[in-house]
Structure 1
Amino acid sequence: MSQAPRTRTDPEETRTRILEVAEEFFRRIGYQKTSVADIATELGMSPANIYRFFPSKGAINECICGRVVEEVAEIAFSIARAPGPASEKLVRLLTAIHIHNKTTLLKEKRTHDMIVAAMQENWAIIKAHIERVTTIFEGLIREGVAAGEFHVDDPAEAARCVKTAFVPFLHPLLIENCIQNGEDTEAGLREQIRFILKALGKQN
């Protein structure tokens, strides 16, 4: 009587499951308190097996961070690709990113803390994320210039300036400081957006 063939777990499936369990721990107890042993125990495997898929705990941290910031990138891409004037889309995009980051602070504090650390420690995934968001800004600015909404000579430089002007409403630690000081971050955001649109040459 022939034996049933043994099923083999797809490596990518195992890798995904490791990240899912890691993210659950990160959200529950924080990324610093989560150990590779914790993840391995939850999955019923050895820590050595985890290291077959990730060379270090830091690599897991970066992957989870990447999953979190991907949510922001998806919001930005969705707004940028929608129909409508570029100036209106830029306003919606800046507002949506700020509200998303603020909501993460208020409802997912441990995730917020990880993003703060990632930005302070210059994790590669954060650098790539900021570059991607800046590229989205540039695309909208170019769209606005073509439509006669914006008047700038160098959309790439303008996008970098928008990123810099937007930092107080993008950086999670700065958002946290504003909330702790009792400041209305969304009122400040509206003022800054008006400044950004004026700097881009948007006419009222």
Structure 2
Amino acid sequence: MRARILEVAEEHFRRIGHHKTSVADIASEIGMSPANVYRFFPSRGAINEAICRRVVNEVADIAFAIARTNAPASERLDRLLTAVHQHNRTKLINERRMHDMIVAAMQENRAIIKTHLERMVTIFEAIIREGSEAGEFQVEDPAEAARAVKAAFMPFFHPILIEHCIQHGEDTEAGLREQIRFILKALGKSD
């Protein structure tokens, strides 16, 4: 039943937005009372959190899949950063209501966002460490480098910043390529 509630909630979030979806809307579609929904989720916020987790897990799944490939570290990092940006940009353009939910979660400083960012830094660190061990990167502290990559990539990672760039007609693709080249150079990528 939890899965069904989340399925209906996500469909409503995608169609009318998370702010406009009520527990009563979700319950009505499933054919139960709102009180019954609360048996499975202690609050409306818990439903939001679960849907938000699904959305950020999409990004993490993309990152993990790229990180696990056998390509050189610089290529994996490039592909990962590009894929994450393109996923977030697509979410803004094609799934605006889900984009808005992630923005709200970030503005509310929800734990799920903090956990997601930490997971992404861990993925960056693993790639950087492997690249350093292979002599591809010249990095003393892969953890510190991973945090720096996150900070340097934030304009292409953070949904509000992506939205700002698109609204102001900036060429995000050209900027993305430049920033990835900068990041790889900063990691001491040997040619």
Distance between the aligned counterparts of 2:36 and 2:143, measured in 1?
45
* Aligned-partner residue type, residue 162 of structure 2: I
Tell me the residue number matched to 2:95.
Answer: 108
TM-score (normalizing by structure 2): 0.99
Tell me the residue number matched to 2:2.
Answer: 15
Tell me the residue number matched to 2:28.
Answer: 41
Tell me the residue number matched to 1:183.
Answer: 170
* Counterpart secondary structure, 2:169: coil
Distance between the aligned counterparts of 1:142 and 1:93, measured in 2?
15
Tell me the residue number matched to 2:159.
Answer: 172
Distance between the aligned counterparts of 2:56 and 2:109, measured in 1?
14
* Aligned-partner residue type, residue 160 of structure 2: L
Distance between the aligned counterparts of 2:47 and 2:118, measured in 1?
21
Tell me the residue number matched to 1:26.
Answer: 13
Of 25, 37, 52 in structure 1, the residue corresponding to residue 39 of structure 2 is: 52
* Aligned-partner residue type, residue 54 of structure 2: R
* Aligned-partner residue type, residue 187 of structure 2: L
Distance between the aligned counterparts of 1:33 and 1:159, measured in 2?
38
Quote the offset at 1:203 in angstroms. Answer: 2.2
| Mapping of residues 120-139 of structure 1, within 5 Å | 120-139=107-126
Which contiguous aligned blocks of 4+ residues in structure 1 show a shift greater than 2 angstroms?
Answer: none
Quote the offset at 1:120 in angstroms. Answer: 1.1
Distance between the aligned counterparts of 1:78 and 1:34, measured in 2?
33
- 1:148-170: CA deviation from partner (whole Å, max 9, x where unpaired): 00011110010000000010000
* Aligned-partner residue type, residue 166 of structure 1: F
Distance between the aligned counterparts of 1:100 and 1:154, measured in 2?
29
| Mapping of residues 58-137 of structure 1, within 5 Å | 58-137=45-124
* Counterpart secondary structure, 1:76: helix
- 1:80-138: CA deviation from partner (whole Å, max 9, x where unpaired): 00111001000000000000000000000000001111111111111111110110000
Distance between the aligned counterparts of 1:133 and 1:127, measured in 2?
10
Distance between the aligned counterparts of 2:175 and 2:190, measured in 1?
21
* Counterpart secondary structure, 1:151: coil
Quote the offset at 1:46 in angstroms. Answer: 0.6
Distance between the aligned counterparts of 1:46 and 1:32, measured in 2?
20
Distance between the aligned counterparts of 1:127 and 1:186, measured in 2?
26
Distance between the aligned counterparts of 1:157 and 1:188, measured in 2?
24
Give the RMSD, CA atoms, in angstroms. 0.6
> Matched residues, percent identical?
75
* Aligned-partner residue type, residue 100 of structure 1: H
* Aligned-partner residue type, residue 92 of structure 1: R
